[in-house]
Amino acid sequence: MKFGSRLSSELREKHGRRSVRPRVGDTARIVKGEFKGIEGKITKVDPKAGVVNVEGVTHEKQKGGTSPVPIYSSNLVMTALTLEDKERKKKLEVPA
């Protein structure tokens, strides 16, 4: 299964790419579905299922408490990336 999210127009210009694999710590904005418009940090990534959990996106359980709602990565736009990983930084460098 392909697993990626679109980059915002600013990041697309900066990195010269259309999409990137989401990672924990990246900031994303939800552009489709019930939680459209919410922006937050990615807290969990499940590449096998193609979903991520975004900070602040939860639903209430019947017995009380909350649980995170998984969001398909294709329904996100990445607004900020974590570039602490040298390999990822190297991949995102714009070719001269």
Q: State the pLDDT confidence band at 2, using cuts at 50, 70 and 90.
A: confident
The separation between CA 87 and the C-alpha centre of its own chain, rounded to angstroms, equals 18
CA distance 31 to 57: 13
Residue-wise pLDDT for 13-44, tens only, equals: 999 899 999 999 999 999 999 999 999 999 99
Residue range 5-82, CATH number: 2.30.30.30
